[in-house]
Chains A and B, each alone.
Chain A
Amino acid sequence: MIGIVGYGGYIPRFRIKVEEIASVWNADAKAIKSGLNIEEKSVPSMDEDTATIAVEAALNALKMAEIDPKEIGAIYVGSESHPYAVKPTATIVGEAIGCGAEFTAADTEFACKAGTAGIQMVMGLIEGGYIKFGLAIGSDTAQSKPGDALEYTASAGGAAFILGKNNVIGEIEGTFSFSSDTPDFWRRDGIEYPSHGGRFTGIPAYFKHVVSATQGLMKKLGLKSSDFDHVVFHMPNGKFPINAAKMLGFDLEKLKAGFVVSKIGNTYSASSLLGLAAILDVAKPGQRILITSYGSGAGSDAFSIKVTDLVEEKRKKTKKIQDYIDDKEYVTYAHYTRLRRGI
């Protein structure tokens, strides 16, 4: 069965606290913190972007997979902040991790679910017998308009998954998607910052898609909420995934292992994938994981993953997500403004 041969994450070291951002805009930090259930978010360094973050995550995944990178037949990088408008991020990753030249590559875009879309594409290529291993990455350095509500959450991070058929640490039991044309969040070409539909992002957008994809997956696989040991939903803030879990009847304890949002913010394309990586860092063999992504505009991809015995040995080879969360340095808003401009 197709599964995860290796995975890895990366989170930039800088953090900014909600209080620090709120003080600049004379906003009520306490209300924002409890409203969003967020304490701080990651901030990329001046010389970091979606490509550099994707490379670091991919190198970590490769360390765990212990395969020859030249055996990777496909690379997909999902992001809403690719460094070039025209020129793929995926080939930069391929060159940096030593994949040679005999692989197919493309960048995917679908707001925050571009990474999970890449996983599905890799699954198809492996199942069809076209490639042996494939690499799917979700990576972002999310931008937000200064003073906008998104400024408290839009952050940076990446997660990479190498899929294959042998020596897997988690078998992918199935996937199910739910998509519709819902204008909850967008950015027109050439415009610096995204726009969003405010409250409209909740019920008809995030919840409808996350719940429908998850229910569809469970129906397809004949599983119920109690069959899962860990669950992770896309984390645009610290509230939405909790409400989604309640709507779907999941015990909230099951969210805990993958709930990275309070400490790093919304890493967009990496959000649910970093949550999955954090779960795989602690999951026990035999446990079942549910991951459902969400991308504005709108769609969700849900996956069921059964953890194998190999997880305990293989995950020792790579830095854990918690290590990245703990390794941090706080910046002031002035420093943050300087970092955001990049080089």
Chain B
Amino acid sequence: MGHESSVPLFWRLIKPRYQLIGTKCTSCGNVFYPPKFLCPVCRKEGKLEEIKLRKTGKILTFSIIRSAPAGFEKETPYPVAIIELDDGPKLTSQIVDYKEEDLKIGRRVEACFRRIYTDGKEGIINYGLKFRPA
């Protein structure tokens, strides 16, 4: 069964994915999402601790996906954006609940909890955060 292989990975990512939990380096103050466990600046000198990131940010750039990867075909066309969180890190996310005029650089967005993809009819439902206009 194909879906079994992805279950452990899915499970490890639940907390950062559901709650937008990243890490912060206590020596240089850099914030990472997805969480990093070694600071690329301070290396061994830095200590990383978990931080709950604010669920707000803005669109840096976006594009409309018309030809989607497997598992996302039903949703096309849909926008995907690079979002800069108010706490610093950048991430890529689907934009939902938007009107056409919301798709612009600098638009304020906030995270919402949605289905990301489902593993066929029998597999796990992957939940996580997407972003909507704030």
Which residues of chain A have a CB within 8 Å of any CB of chain B? 13, 45-49, 51-52, 55-56, 59, 83-84, 92, 95-98, 329, 338, 341-343
**Chain A CB within 8 A of B65 CB:** no
State whether B127 touches A51 (Cβ < 8 A).
Answer: yes
Contacts of B74 in A (CB 8 A): 46, 338, 341-343
A343 contacts B14, C-beta separation under 8 Å: no
Question: Does any Cβ of A come within 8 Å of B54's Cβ?
Answer: no
Q: Is the C-beta of B51 less than 8 angstroms from some C-beta in chain A?
A: no
Q: Among A55, A56, A96, which residue has the most Cβ atoms of chain B within 10 A? A: A96
Smallest CB gap from B125: residue in A: A83
With A83-B125, A96-B127, A343-B75 as contacts: A48 and B18 at CB distance below 8 Å: no
Asked if B114 is an interface residue, CB under 8 A from chain A, the answer is yes
Interface size on B, as a range, is 20 to 34
Contact of B114 among A52, A97, A98 (CB under 8 A): A52
Q: Is the CB of A98 within 8 A of B115?
A: no
Give me 16 A-to-B residue pairs in the complex whose CB atoms sit less than 8 angstroms apart, sorted by A's number: A45-B114, A46-B115, A47-B75, A47-B114, A48-B114, A49-B115, A52-B115, A56-B112, A83-B125, A92-B127, A96-B19, A329-B99, A338-B74, A342-B118, A343-B75, A343-B117
Of residues 46 through 77 on chain B, the ones whose CB sits less than 8 Å from some CB of chain A are 52, 71-72, 74-75
Check A47/B15 contact, CB under 8 A, given A13-B97, A55-B113, A56-B113: no
In the complex, the chain A residue whose C-beta lies closest to that of B97 is A13
Report the bound CA distance from A84 to B99 in whole Å.
Answer: 31
B96 touches A52 (CB 8 A): no
A83–B96 CA distance with the chains assembled, in angstroms:
20
Contact with A along B18-38 (1 / 0, CB 8 A): 110000000000000000000
The chain B residue with its CB closest to the CB of A341 is B74
B75 touches A95 (CB 8 A): no
A residues in contact with B114, CB < 8 Å: 45, 47-48, 52
Contact B96 A45 (CB under 8 A): yes
Shortest B74–chain A CB gap in Å is 5
Contacts of B125 in A (CB 8 A): 49, 51, 83-84
B115 x A343 contact (CB < 8 A)? yes
A92 to B114, CA, bound (A): 11
| Contact between chains at A96 and B113 (CB < 8 Å) | yes
B65 to chain A, nearest CB (A): 14
A52 contacts across to B, CB distance below 8 A: 112-115, 127
Task: Give Cα A68 to B121, complex, Å.
Answer: 36
Q: How far is the CB of B18 from chain A (nearest CB, A)?
A: 4
